[in-house]
Every structure is written in C-alpha cells, then in structure tokens.
Amino acid sequence: MARAPVYLDCHATTPLDPRVLEAMLPYFTEHFGNPASSTHAWGWKAQAAVEQARREVASIIGAAPRDIYFTSGATESNNLAIAGAVRAMSGRTRVVVSAIEHKSVLEPASRLGREGFEVVRLPVGRDGIVDLEAAARAIDGQTALVSVMAANNEIGVIQPIAEIGRMARDAGALFHVDAAQAVGKIPLDVEAMCVDLLSMTAHKLYGPKGCGAIYVRRRLPVEPMLVGGGHERGLRAGTLNVPGIVGFGRACAIAAAEMAEECRRVATLRDALLDGLRSNLGTVVVNGTLERRLANNLHVSFPDVDGESLLIAIGDIAVSAGSACGSASGEPSHVLQAISGDEPVPSASVRFGLGRFTTADEIAWTVERFTTVVRHLRQKAHA
C-alpha cells in the first residue's frame, strides 16, 4: 500500500489552517469592498476587517496597532526596513547585519554598500549565535541601523535580540528584526526587546501567501518604496489585500492562543526525530545549538553521505537542504558556511521543519526512511 507523502518543510511555507480559510472566504465574495472606499458600507466593512486584523497582528508582538503596516510579505518588509529607514536618516554611514540573515536583508544591505554605506556583517559561532562582542565593537555612533533576525530560517537558532536591541538603542541606532520564522513560535515583545522595525509574513504561521506586515516604531521616519495612493498612512501604496490581511490576523490570533502548547507538542516530536536518527545511524551532527532553537526545527548533517543523492532517494518526504529561497542556486548555504568557519561545509545537510499538523506516525516513518537511505548511501560510499 502506497504511503501518503510527509510534509516536513514548514520553514519554507505552512499549509493554510482551515480556521484561517474560513475567516478569509467572505472577503473574496460577500464583503469584497475596498477599505479605501470611505463613503459606503462595502468599504466600511472591509476597513473594519483590516483594523481588526491589525490589532491581532500587533498583539502577537506587543505593539500598538497603529504601528503595523501591511505589505506583500517579509521580503518587502525587510527591504522597506533596511533601505527605507537608512535612507531616511542622515549623518550615519554604517549598517550592521548578521552573517546569517535571509537574503532579503543581505541584498538590500549590499545595495546600500554600493551606495557608499559601510556594511558590517557580524560573525556567528558554531552554535549559530551572533558574536555579541563583535556586535558591541560594530555598533557605535556611526551606525544607522542594525538588523538581526529573531530566529534563523535554516538552522532555527534563536538570537539574543533583547541584548542586541539594547546595544543599538544605547548607540542611537535603529534596530530591525526579521521575525518571519519566529512570529507565533516564540514570545516577542518589541518594547522589551528595543525593536524599532520588525518584519513578518503570514504564510510562515498557517496564513496565506502574499501578505505580510512591518512594525515601525511611532514617528520613526521611513522612506516608502511604493508611492501612489497614500494607503497605509503613506508608507506603502497599493490597494490592500483584504482576504489576506484577514487571514493573517486570524493566523496570529490562533498562534498566540496555542503557542505554548504547540511548542511543547512539536518539540517532543522533534526530539523523537533526532533520537531516532541518532539511535539508528550513530553520527548525526546537529547544526547550531539545540538549546536555543525553534521547537519545530531540526537541521542535521549526515557524514559520509552525498547530499544530492540523499534528497533524491528519500522520496515523498518534503524536507530542504537549506532555505527555500536559496535551494535552486546549487551554492553551499551561506548559513552553514558562517557556522562552519574554516571547516568544510557538510554536503549532506537536511532541514526538517515540523508543523501544526505533523503527527507522531509521520515522524516514525521519517526516521525509518532516512535510516534505510542513509545506511545504503554510506555502504555505497565505502564500497
């Protein structure tokens, strides 16, 4: 009997929660108004739904609703935070980012570098955590902005955001956090963490693709990337994606209510996965610290195994060798390069992203399947 495929790539995207879909559906048909239409009931209904979602999104990060601006996703939010905030400042010429940021942070930072800004990339240790001593040296009176992600999209390591935020605040620099992977999985509080800008996206927490948001601390000047209709109080022009925004808000509300219980459940499954792989295969290397990690993340390397052969042979188990955005390039992961230092980057590395709908039976099957495939590939390598 054929077995159903197993989806363990929830860092790339998550399935839409049926409860989120239920909330969205009326806004495709019955409540189809444009929230910018302020003279009739269709517009008022849409606007009310957007503002409810704004409150739900704000609540999950401890923000005021008026400081939330809707975008198309975390990539747009990251670009707006990096380029828009830095260009709106004057007199400061340094941008500090961690070496393991998502490309949607690294690329706009590099573009600023080509425009004459000094771009400093903070190193990380083998544990995947940003070097705080290097951060303290880099963040000074010349620093315009610091950008460090809350949790890494490949190895799942949670960064010391509050400590870095205080460094930035003390130096008078802006602090941006890419929280795409962290929202709904770990507690976040923009006030306690000294965060000035924060990026997020709906499809990483069981919401729809194509909808995200940026938190911007009140009265912080940011240069818009999209101009035109004055939407979102002039920060981001374009007709709002009302169904997507409604879904984003609902996804945040569900995640906030279920976070603690879900983290415990999925961490148990993640630990069972690691224990099973280690018990059956011996040497399985965890990339990055296991102690400061998202509960749903496991990123491991299998020594003496060819990475491409492994991914081809595992069949209908959806995992990733790295981030979804970089998997097509064929280049070694910049995250693994950063944590490997002078050591060779392991060729057979797998990111397991467990999720809300992952079951214990699926984890048991994954252990069984990887055990069979890795043993075969190791025997083949030593033949």
- From residue 14, give the alpha-carbon distance in Å to each of 37, 267, 349: 33, 17, 21
Q: In 109-118, which positions are buried (b, 16+ CB within 10 angstroms) versus exposed (e)?
A: bbebeeeebe
CA distance 172 to 157: 27
Instruction: Look at residues 83, 58, 84 and name the one whose alpha carbon lies nearest to residue 69.
Output: 58
Asked if 252 is an active-site residue, the reply is: no
CA dihedral 289, 167, 173, 235 (to 10 degrees): 50
Tokens of 151: 């949790």
Question: Position of tokens 């818009």?
Answer: 224
Q: Which listed residue (10, 211, 252, 325) is catalytic?
A: 325
In contact, 33 and 43? CB cutoff 8 Å: yes
Question: Position of tokens 């194509």?
Answer: 210
Tokens of 193: 């963490």
Tokens of 55: 């409150």
Q: Which residues contact 120 (CB under 8 A, 6 or more apart)?
A: 94, 95, 96, 97, 138
Question: Position of tokens 């239920």?
Answer: 22
Bridge partners, 214 (sequence order): 69, 199
Q: Catalytic residues, which ones?
A: 325
